[in-house]
Amino acid sequence: MNSSRPPRAGSRSKQLVAILSSLVLSVAGTGPAVRADVGPASGAAKVASMQDIVPVPVTAEPATGADHTITGDTAIYVQTGSAGVGDYLAALLRRSTGYPLPVRSATATPTDGISLLLTGADQTVGSQGYQLNVTPSTVVIRANQPAGLFAGVQTLRQLLPAAVESTTTQPGPWQIPGGRVVDYPRFAYRGAHLDVARHFFTVDEVKRYVDEIALYKINYLHLHLTDDQGWRIQINSWPRLATYGGELEVGGTPGGYYTQDQYKDIVAYAQSRHITVVPEIDMPGHTNAALASYAELNCNNVAPPRRTDIQVGYSSLCINKDITYKFVADVIREVAALTPGPYLHIGGDEASATPQKDYVTFLNKVLPMVQEQGKIAMGWHDIVDATLPTSAVPQYWQTGTSHAGVQAAARRGNKILMSPANKSYLDMKYNSSTRLGLSWAGYIEVQTAYEWNPGTHMTGVTESQVFGVEAPLWSETLLNIADIEYMAFPRLPAIAELAWSPQSTHNWNAFRQRLGAQGPRWQVMGVNFYRSSQVPWRTDNNNPGKCTEPEWDGTATYVGGDKVSYNDHTWTARWWTRGDAPGNNPQDVWTDNGPC
């Protein structure tokens, strides 16, 4: 999961870094960050395009002259089972349009407004897909389940102007391009992971991340709740885990924990966005916060000091003590009772301080405890060394493409969750100049995050044996939501497309254009995203201003006049170059100086 990571030199003041992270950066090769206080720009209400949807739909058929306009008279129609999605959509649209948008029961197929219907969907969409039809008179989303309607609403959001994301009333007009979309996911499990143990994030910060990942049809949030540096969930039967084990975080700054009511609030909020929370209690390693909180969990009955560095592999529960299994059973019981979702993640990675025989003994005792609480066990792929029930889900995290134990587990019937660190870890730096993150798994620019196939990535693991895809985000260097956003966007949408869209639609050049169209939306949302030079970001109003620099010429050599305009941006050649289009070279031959 975090193998071979060097310790971070020193620690930063949380207050100082929060100030610094709000600044617009313009370091060569990194691209500037976008300030979180950017508001909607004039002209942002331009009609979107069916060609800009992320993740790309299975089919999207535009219809010329069939645009639909939301007005002050528009109503939202729902059926039994779709009212929750209707209320969500109405709340989203009311704040930016200022329109009343009443939510009404549909007694038949409505002939006006926006309809969210759980009848008549295309038979191919399954339980999570949807069908969207836009005509001048109506917008109709059909699905078989509410989750499908919610996915369709996320597509509808992207078909509206970026200003629809504003929290204040905007002038409009609110046009939706006409046409038809039929869409359904490649994998049923599409996950984002957030480490709240290394650095603690507030309930509101987690909820904001939930809202952001929901836009890209992510439907699972894996919360890494415990680690060496902090225990972040209240356990009533072992209270010092949170009050003492959760007091600090990496760097020695104050940490925190979620009360059980706060955790339930996060879970319920995620459910309202059709996202299922997967709690992780990492064990038998990554347990120093627990060992420091209760001496009896240590083989020598001596509690170690709390740790706030980022070393790994040094801690272990005492495998041969009965109290260890009472502790584990209590924690699993309480966390399972708080979590309505089907999965409970037991970690299991980097247990270097646990002898292999003891490791297997421990897991073989713990896995049945998860089943006894009615949950399906997940764990980092290290758990394949134990005797796994076929329902258990190993999560592959290493950088290689072959692993004998994982292959054997797949042959036995276990589905594999794909999270290769050198492709999907959102905490890896974009390049050597990235101010946040680590690099033990390599640098991951947007193209690297996008250019892999979860269905064929591992030798001996076929697409039918892949459970889904998840993008982990570890927080050793991340202090606040702005840091989370900077590392997740734009790579999270890339991973989301791999998990949702058919492999046949996979095309980097098309994706980077669609991804660039998300920029204005993120600006309105206040997302602190990384402006990768690989992506042709659009200006706020999709209408670039006049560029004063000459157009890029692929036959020219840029040695003196090194500035050009290209893809609505200005660029500076960092060294001698010819024939290399700005933004296309992962070695950053060109520096993106921003929109024209």
Q: Indicate which residues carry an active-site annotation.
A: 350
Q: Count the Cβ atoms, other than its own, within 10 Å of residue 167.
A: 12
Q: What residues have CB less than 8 Å from 464, skipping those under 6 apart?
A: none
DSSP string, 256-315: --B-HHHHHHHHHHHHHTT-EEEEE---SSS-HHHHHH-GGGSTTS-PPPP--S---S--
Q: Cβ(491)–Cβ(444) under 8 Å?
A: yes
Q: Quickly count helices (H) and strands (E) in the chain.
A: 16, 22
195: closest CA among 445, 484, 470?
484
Give kind and range of the element (H or E) at residue 469: strand 466-471
Give the three-class secondary structure for 183: strand
Alpha-carbon distances, residue 228 vs 49, 196, 245 (angstroms):
47, 12, 9
Is the four-CA dihedral 553, 559, 561, 564 of positive or negative sign? positive
76: closest CA among 88, 86, 67, 85?
86
Q: Cβ(45)–Cβ(161) under 8 Å?
A: yes
Distance from C-alpha of 94 to C-alpha of 114, rounded to nearest angstrom = 14
Alpha-carbon distances, residue 215 vs 115, 150, 155, 211 (angstroms):
19, 10, 8, 7
428 burial level (CB within 10 Å; 0-12, 13-18, 19+): buried
Q: Cβ(320)–Cβ(285) under 8 Å?
A: no
- DSSP label at 551? B
Single-letter residue type at 98: G
219: closest CA among 396, 386, 115, 342?
342
